[in-house]
Structure 1
């Protein structure tokens, strides 16, 4: 009873303590699991720039916008590298937005209302205004369309107008900032003269060389002192601009076996027999093909297989092609029809949305009514402006010239199958289209194809066997030497070195993002927790190195610098050989060291390439600092050690136009200075990049 009274009287304290402990345990547990402080683990924060949080809700649409641009540019095909590029593009835009705006504010850079008005409507408007509101036929700015856009009260138009004006402001501020940076750069007459001389002064010399390859690597024993000396002299070379990680991995192939290939061949032969007698070719192809090709007229080159194109476009309608093994797949094709068709078409267009018209029948009747009005001389542009829901309505319904494959099939067929001047109504997934064919350009052969493609792939049995082997390895390798155990199992060990957190590629891996994410959540030496699926293999990996931002320690770069350290030690040995030959003439030195005298003509300081050898900066630099006629001390270059004699120099004529020389240098310096200024802003900012948690 006494215990119950004690608990009842202190229940409030106990409850508060319990809740507090649970919260702390949850946060600390999360910190332990993630390996990062719990206060930075906000699940919505992609990163911070000088304390400004970047939310995934704001960041993802910008990534999607970049991805859509890549889809349009590369035909809808994306890979991990493109995704990584899109994420980087969005991230860099965020950095620029925060850092440059802070810099604009610090410098007092603004765009006044008068400036903005002039950029929107003045005599010399922003390039964006010219881009979006110029008449495609004349190239001249369409001020009527521009003013209608700026004055529109439509919510969507207002949003687009605000976005456009903000982007114009940003471009103007960036131009002011760039001009400010560029105008702070100058070139003295001495600098201009040096640059001119370095590019035009000629040197003629002879040299004797001993290559590093003349000493076998196995005969050189490197010491810790050798590594340390090279590292201390070249520390600046080991500055890591961002954290990277390295991992080893082994692969388990899921490529099709001979039995798999035979099974697919048997399957495609059965499909071919059924395809020959099918009653509905387009449906049969859609059901049986791994690759979907639209059942519409295609121009030559659209299939992406040159040999297939050449074969199909030489066949008459009714022909059957295949089964033919091409690349990694079998192809079966029925040529349904061939004809000659325009290469591209120019049309006007009004789109009626049934949902906005009230119902399907009313939309169809409205489309027919508009067609009747236009055929009797009605103003197409005015009708498009008043009735169309398409983005082209403000341009009078005019669409840019397009070729086959750019529009939905119903729209495309109407535009390409008619003739110039035709007025048509067609229905598509978007609604009812009133189309007027303005112009048809060119003519070439097109074909309507029923297309089947079957990819050679591994069977489920083959995939299961590979996955089981990978799973066994993952379970058995834990606690063992990863590399040694892989060797015992007869597996080839591959290395992915210095992988950045947001990188979209890794050596030998075609889909590494999940693997890289897990590598950044692991500790050095950890075997990563999953079996990672690539296109034709399963992968098991182990994190081997964590390379932090900043100057890397010697241990982290020791393997990388070994060839350079080896050459440094060899250089000392070869220098001793040259010194042992005495201070005789170049011919006598060549005779004693077993080399030859090589003449070189017309070398300039700014292009230190020795013909037939390589770029040798140290050698050419030494040549331009030497006195003619004297045998030089040995010079250690990139390929070997050199001794030389300068025959003479040919000085260029005096600079004819100092102003032009300076102007040329200023142009190059101005471009580099803008990039350097932005990099300086990044270097001095506090940036936390959490993108690896999201992508």
Structure 2
């Protein structure tokens, strides 16, 4: 009874304990399984900079914006470009975070008066000037900017433009603060008169000397034994040169080629030959291209010089219906058909009145109605020039009565004045001379009058059907099977031996960062990089990785943490320099044994020759016929005249020299100008050096490899 009573009294606490224990065990197991933290939500944590988190979603929004801007320029997004944009965006975010902290420390702000100047009418910020420039003249369109601001202030611009403007102003303020901070730092740069004089002499003082040299190559490499002490001595003396700016990996890999075989090429050619016959017989060429082509593109008339080199001359000399191909181009088999031929005007002369959306508060329907009304007025006899002056948002052309320079069928204006948007020039070429039309473009609605049409040019419409040359499943299976067989034969110690046995030559990938996109010979290798950052030294890849048309097996050879690298991590890298140091000791001993007498006598004893040198300056330490020898030339300028030097180990060998004399330059006449030149050089480097210094002092936890 006592035990039962005890249990009844404490059953609630006991159940709570066991339920709590079970719940905690479940949570811990989930944490272990997911690699996350119960107390900290790190699923969106791209990085932590000096304790401040960088959310992935905000970073990705900036990256997406940068990518869209790049695409708008007509560029394709290759893995290398994607990696470049990621790194550029990261540096922008990182620099903004680091500068913001520094700006807060010194209390820099942008006042209301400064802000009014930046977005005002008299001297707006350069970014505003670029955004509101006339597309034809490149001049700042103040009227269009005033209309936009009025729409924003009245609330008629719409929610999205208003938010975009607000974000832009915030960015403008932050950029201004950063500029102030950089200016604050760079204003502290100072060059004194002594530095200016030293710089002048380093560039103008001449030396004449003679030297004899024993080349490192005079001692065969196999005659030199390198000890651990040699490596340690060199490492200790040059340790600061081996500072790793960020965590990196080294690995070696072999590849098994799965590129299309000859059989694959023959099969693809046969398929395209059949398509060529069907294309020739086709009566609906546009539909045939859309159904059969890998690259879907509408058929359009093109002028000579705009087709690919293989087609340009052929199609302009062929008759309608001519079929060219199959031919191989950029990894694709193609067939081209001359669908149509026509002759049109060589150039068109127009006037226009631009009605932009800002003038109607962002209302598209109102802008179109306004353009239609102006067209009716012109059709009714109203002066085009007067209406352009009153209503056109393109003030550059409005000042000329709406006049636009003549342009060709591709919209390129004469005199190198740029190009028009496709919607404008396509509409103008379709219209009749003297007519007034309305066309819409990204700038708004254009009321266009066709003033004149001159000359003639031949245009062709060419349809192209393409089929990529790809490896068959048989080709891919053979390559993958060979990779699997090789992987199965590996241990952590036999990678090179097995590769040699299979006739494979391993390639090395060194200093691979966590967000690297490509490797030597491999364009998109993110999967392998991710594996490398989970592996330990000596690990073999967990599977055969496919990268493009290659199957890859890899072995991790080194992990290089951020900071000064240990000797073992760079031992192979410094081996040539260590060997040169050991050789230098032997060559110096040879010179020491021959010491005494003139430089000619020393050269004779060591089997060298004396080489005269003239007109060398300290700022350009190159020995004619050899290479840059900083240590040797520095020693020359620090030596007395007519005294044979002690042996000096250089880049290419060990030198002994004697200075014949110096030629001093005329006294510096303009110290101020010399100081300004040095200061300008310092200023050009200051921003990058400042950012590097802030990064070196920052504590950055970079998780980008988990997201990209």
- The residue aligned with 1:24 is 28
1:236 maps onto 2:240 in alignment: yes
Are residues 1:66 and 2:56 paired?
A: no
Task: Summarize deviations over 1:346-402 as a string: whole Å, max 9, x none.
Answer: 8666799xxx9999xx999999777545644585798898xxxxxxxxxx9999999
Single out whichever of 184-193 and 630-639 deviates more from structure 2: 630-639
Higher mean alpha-carbon deviation, 291-300 vs 233-242, is at 291-300
Match of 1:508 in 2: 521
* Aligned position for 1:286: 290
The corresponding residue for 2:531 is 518
Q: Residues 209 and 660 of structure 2 are in contact (CA less than 8 Å); yes or no, is this contact kept in structure 1?
A: yes
Query: 2:204 aligned with 1:192, yes or no?
Result: no
Distance of 2:262 and 2:202 partners within structure 1: 63
Instruction: Tell me the CA shift for residue 47 of structure 1.
Output: 0.7
Which residue in 2 is equivalent to 1:156?
Answer: 160
Q: Secondary structure at the match of 1:86?
A: helix
CA distance in 2, matches of 1:339, 1:504: 48
Please list the CA deviations of residues 476-498 of structure 1 after superposition, one character each: whole Å capped at 9, or x if unmatched: 43666333333333322111111
Q: Distance in 2 between matches of 1:265 and 1:380?
A: 58
- The match for 1:257 is 261
Describe how 1:552-591 pairs up with structure 2 within 5 A.
552-591=565-604
CA contact (8 A) 1:528 1:542 kept: yes
| Structure 1 position 503, deviation (Å) | 2.2
For the residue of structure 1 that corresponds to 2:504, the secondary structure is coil
Aligned partners of 2:348 and 2:428 also within 8 Å: no
- Deviations along 1:450-493, whole A, 9 cap, x unmatched? 11233332112211222232234334436663333333333221
Q: Residue in 2 aligned with 1:392?
A: none
Residue 68 of structure 1 and its aligned partner are, at CA, apart by 2.1
State the alpha-carbon separation in 2 of the partners of residues 156 and 597 from structure 1: 78
Unpaired runs of at least 5, structure 1: 386-395
Q: Does 2:676 match 1:663?
A: yes
> What is the DSSP-based 3-state SS (H/G/I as helix, E as strand, rest coil) of the residue aligned with 1:632?
coil
Residue 661 of structure 2 aligns to a residue whose secondary structure is strand
Residues 154-202 of structure 1, C-alpha deviations (whole Å, 9 max, x = no match):
2223223212322332232222222211210111111100001001111
Q: Deviations over 1:117-141 (max 9, x none)?
A: 1222153332223222344556554
The alpha-carbon deviation at position 339 of structure 1 amounts to 4.0
The aligned counterpart of 2:141 is: 142
Residue aligned with 2:48, SS: strand
Q: 1:295 to 1:113 in 2, by over 3 A?
A: same
CA displacement 1:577-602 (0-9 Å, x = unmatched): 22233333233333333333222221
The equivalences for 1:291-370 within 5 A come to 291-300=295-304, 302-303=306-307, 305-315=308-318, 317-326=320-329, 328-335=331-338, 336-337=340-341, 339=343
For 1:16 and 1:593, the matched residues in 2 are separated by 86
Matched residue pairs, number? Answer: 676
**How much is the aligned-residue C-alpha RMSD, in angstroms?**
3.9
In 1, Cα distance between equivalents of 2:349 and 2:526: 42
1:611-641 Cα deviation digits (max 9, x unpaired): 2211111111111111222222221111112
TM-score in terms of structure 1 length: 0.87
1:631 aligns with 2:644: yes
Give the TM-score of the pair, scaled to structure 2: 0.85
> CA 1:141 to 1:272, structure 2 compared with 1: closer, same or farther past 3 Å?
closer
Which residue does the alignment assign to 2:56?
A: 56
Determine the structure 2 residue equivalent to 1:678: 691
Correspondence 1:74-113 to 2 at 5 A: 75-113=74-112
- Secondary structure at 2:685 match in 1: helix
Do 2:280 and 2:321's aligned partners in 1 also have CA atoms closer than 8 Å?
A: no
Greater Cα offset, 525-534 or 503-512? 525-534
Greater Cα offset, 2-11 or 139-148: 2-11
Which range is displaced more, 673-682 or 99-108? 673-682
What's the secondary structure of 1:130's corresponding residue? helix
Where does structure 2 lack aligned partners over 5 or more consecutive residues?
394-400, 413-418
For residue 343 of structure 1, report the CA deviation from its aligned partner: 8.0
Any residues of structure 2 matched to 1:412-561 within 5 Å, and which?
Answer: 413-418=426-431, 422-424=435-437, 436=448, 446-477=459-490, 481-561=494-574
Distance change in 2, residues 1:306/1:613 (3 Å): farther
Instruction: Indicate whether 1:204 and 2:208 are aligned.
Output: yes
Change (3 A) 1:344 1:128: farther
CA–CA distance in structure 1, aligned partners of residues 458 and 310 of structure 2: 17
**Structure 1's 528 and 301: CA in aligned 2 closer, same or farther, altered over 3 A?**
farther
Report the equivalent of 2:416.
none
- Structure 2 partner of 1:132: 131
Q: 2:353·2:447 contact (CA, 8 Å) conserved in 1?
A: yes
Go from structure 1 to structure 2 and tell me whether the alpha carbon gap of 1:383 and 1:56 turns closer, same or farther (over 3 Å shift).
farther
1:171 aligns with 2:171: no
Report the 3-state secondary structure (helix = DSSP H, G, I; strand = E; otherwise coil) of the residue aligned with 1:477: coil
* Cα distance change, pair 317–380 in 1 and its aligned pair in 2 (3 A): farther
Aligned-pair CA distance for 1:443: 8.2
CA–CA separation in structure 2 for the residues paired with 1:124 and 1:434: 29
Q: Structure 1 residues 172 and 345 mapped into 2: Cα distance closer, same or farther (>3 Å)?
A: farther
604-613 or 306-315: bigger deviation:
306-315
Pair 1:612-2:625 in alignment: yes
Give the aligned partner of residue 15 of structure 1. 19
Counterpart contact for 1:250–1:540, Cα < 8 Å? yes
- Do the aligned residues in 2 keep the contact of 1:30 with 1:38 (CA within 8 Å)? no
Alpha-carbon deviation of 1:300? 4.8
